[in-house]
């Protein structure tokens, strides 16, 4: 949300917020796993469409394989 509002600049109208929220392309956030990016579009509001497999080794979760899913 912070990135959307920053992209709005001084125009905080409903239309501009919606436009900015539906035009995120390849936004990497520190709270996501490495390689996972946010993509939205005017007809697709699902921001996260990628996954990273992990297995529990008895102490912690260990990532394995490539990031799965498309843009």
| pLDDT, tens digit (0-9, with 9 covering 90-100), for 24-57 | 999 999 999 999 999 999 998 899 999 999 999 9
User: What average pLDDT does range 61-71 have in this prediction?
Assistant: 90
- Domain of residue 41: give its range: 2-63
pLDDT at position 22, please?
95
Q: What domain count does the chain have?
A: 1
Residue 49 maps to a domain: yes
Residue 70 maps to a domain: no
Residue 50 maps to a domain: yes
Residue 71 maps to a domain: no
At residue 71 the predicted structure's pLDDT band, cuts being 50, 70 and 90, is low
Structural tokens at position 8: 């709005």
Does residue 21 register a pLDDT over 90? yes
Residue 69 maps to a domain: no
Does residue 18 register a pLDDT over 80? yes
Q: Is-contact 38 56, C-beta < 8 A?
A: no
Of 52, 49, 48, 46, whose CA–CA distance to 33 is shortest? 52
């Amino acid at each position: 949300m912070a990135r959307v509002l920053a992209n709005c600049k001084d125009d905080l109208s409903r239309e501009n917020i919606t436009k900015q929220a539906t035009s995120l392309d390849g936004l990497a956030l520190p709270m996501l796993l490495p390689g996972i990016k946010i993509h939205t579009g005017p007809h697709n509001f699902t921001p996260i469409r990628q996954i990273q497999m992990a297995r529990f080794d008895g102490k912690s979760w260990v990532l394995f394989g490539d990031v799965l899913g498309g843009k």
